[in-house]
């Protein structure tokens, strides 16, 4: 497994990471043996970056129950700000965030995480600064080694330029290319670690129907990506397309050197092994990446980042 240094954090991580929203949203604790199989398969395959959040249902608890005994083998990131499932102002208060971080540590069965990230708060919340100070408090207390921002569009740019954060997690894929027009460059200029979320566009490239149809929750979640992929594919065959939608998507993201790690979620150990195996088939042809960029730029009519 190829590794990368996560910007100024100095953390050595695998280029392919594990996004843990899917197991929390689509599985239950009753299926803990299946979850343990997926997460241990990831670790055994060389994945060393795991990303979760306090609002991903039982995701943190699942991590704690299954791989906390291997805690020193991986970098662990979580997010805060959606306490209680809401996104109101109270969720971004200093006390609420402190309580959220403590709850996350308890669920994860660890005394510290490597990164705590603000979870998609808007600019007005960031400007007040209380949520940022809460993360800085946690860092001083040793509850997290680094702090980050997870989000998109104008708020992500504000976070990057603020200089307060060590890492940026943002949506980036062949169906979500806006970050290559400034955001990735600004983050790299500041030596921030860059984490690409939704890097395979929920499997929309080459799909016959919207991947949203297979979801238990948020049955609209991949619809916009599916629409964009359909529009891009309608312009004709892409020279160099490897014929595998996930490989094409990963190849596109990893063709951008600003990206340190791409987090992909799955609930299936077989899919996990396949994702790891696909890395051996990278890179995809340069002309395929260039054509996808050209098609995006041609069709973009205000395609903002999807959260």
Query: In percent, how much of the chain has pLDDT > 90?
Result: 87
**CATH number of the domain where residue 27 is located:** 3.20.20.100
- Among all residues, which ones are annotated catalytic? 56
What mean pLDDT do residues 73-101 have? 82
Confidence class for position 89, pLDDT limits 50, 70, 90: low
Q: What is the tens place of the pLDDT at every residue in 113-144?
A: 999 999 999 999 999 999 999 999 999 999 99
- On whether residue 297 sits in a domain, the answer given is no
The CA distance from 257 to 164, in Å, is: 23
Q: Alpha carbon 231 to chain centroid distance? A: 25
Helices 223-233, 286-299: inter-axial angle, 10-degree rounding:
110
- State the SS3 of 169-212: EEECECCECHHHCCHHHHHHHCCCEEEEECCCHHHCCCCCCCHH
Q: What is the tens place of the pLDDT at every residue in 176-193?
A: 999 999 999 999 999 999
Q: How many CB atoms lie within 10 A of CB 133?
A: 13
User: What average pLDDT is seen over the chain?
Assistant: 93
pLDDT of residue 217: 64
State how far the alpha carbon of 116 is from the alpha carbons of 132, 254, 265, 276, in Å.
11, 24, 19, 26
- CA-nearest of 262, 248, 294 to 170 is 262
pLDDT of residue 85: 44
Contact 216, 269 (CB under 8 A): no
Per-residue pLDDT at 53 exceeds 90 = yes
pTM of the model: 0.95
Contact 262, 16 (CB under 8 A): yes
Domain that holds residue 169: 3-201+258-269
Which residue in the block uniquely carries the two structure tokens 């014929």? 243
**The total number of structural domains that make up the chain:** 1
Backbone angles phi, psi at 80, to 5 degrees: -140, 165
- On whether residue 27 sits in a domain, the answer given is yes
Q: How many CB atoms lie within 10 A of CB 29?
A: 11
What mean pLDDT do residues 256-285 have? 95
Per-residue pLDDT at 212 exceeds 90 = no
What mean pLDDT do residues 279-290 have? 96
- On whether residue 215 sits in a domain, the answer given is no
Q: Could you check whether the bond before residue 117 is cis, i.e. omega within 30 degrees of 0? A: no
């Amino acid at each position: 497994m190829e590794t990368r240094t996560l910007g100024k954090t100095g953390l050595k991580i695998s280029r392919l990471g594990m996004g843990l929203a899917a197991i929390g949203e689509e599985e239950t604790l009753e299926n803990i043996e299946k979850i343990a199989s997926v997460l241990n398969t990831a670790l055994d395959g060389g994945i060393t970056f795991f990303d979760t959040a306090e609002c991903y249902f039982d995701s943190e608890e699942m991590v704690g129950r299954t791989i906390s005994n291997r805690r020193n083998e991986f970098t662990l990131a979580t997010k805060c700000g959606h306490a209680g499932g809401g996104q109101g102002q109270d969720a971004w208060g200093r006390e609420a965030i402190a309580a959220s971080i403590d709850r996350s540590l308890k669920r994860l069965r660890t005394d510290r995480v490597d990164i705590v990230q603000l979870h998609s708060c808007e600019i007005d919340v960031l400007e007040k600064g209380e949520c940022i100070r809460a993360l800085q408090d946690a860092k001083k207390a040793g509850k997290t080694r680094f702090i980050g921002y997870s989000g998109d569009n104008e708020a992500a740019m504000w976070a990057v330029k603020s200089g307060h954060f060590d890492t940026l997690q943002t949506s980036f894929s062949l169906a979500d290319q806006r970050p290559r027009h400034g955001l990735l460059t600004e983050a790299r200029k500041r030596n921030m670690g860059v984490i690409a979320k939704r890097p395979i566009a929920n499997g929309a490239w080459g799909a016959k129907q919207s991947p949203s149809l297979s979801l238990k929750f948020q049955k609209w979640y991949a619809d916009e990506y599916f629409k964009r992929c359909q529009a891009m594919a309608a312009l004709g065959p892409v020279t160099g397309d490897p014929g595998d939608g996930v490989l094409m998507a990963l190849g596109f993201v990893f063709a951008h050197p600003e990206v340190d790690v791409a987090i992909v979620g799955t609930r299936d150990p077989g899919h996990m092994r396949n994702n790891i195996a696909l890395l051996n088939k990278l890179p995809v042809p340069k002309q395929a990446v260039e054509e996808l960029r050209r098609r995006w730029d041609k069709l973009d009519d205000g395609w903002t980042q999807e959260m």
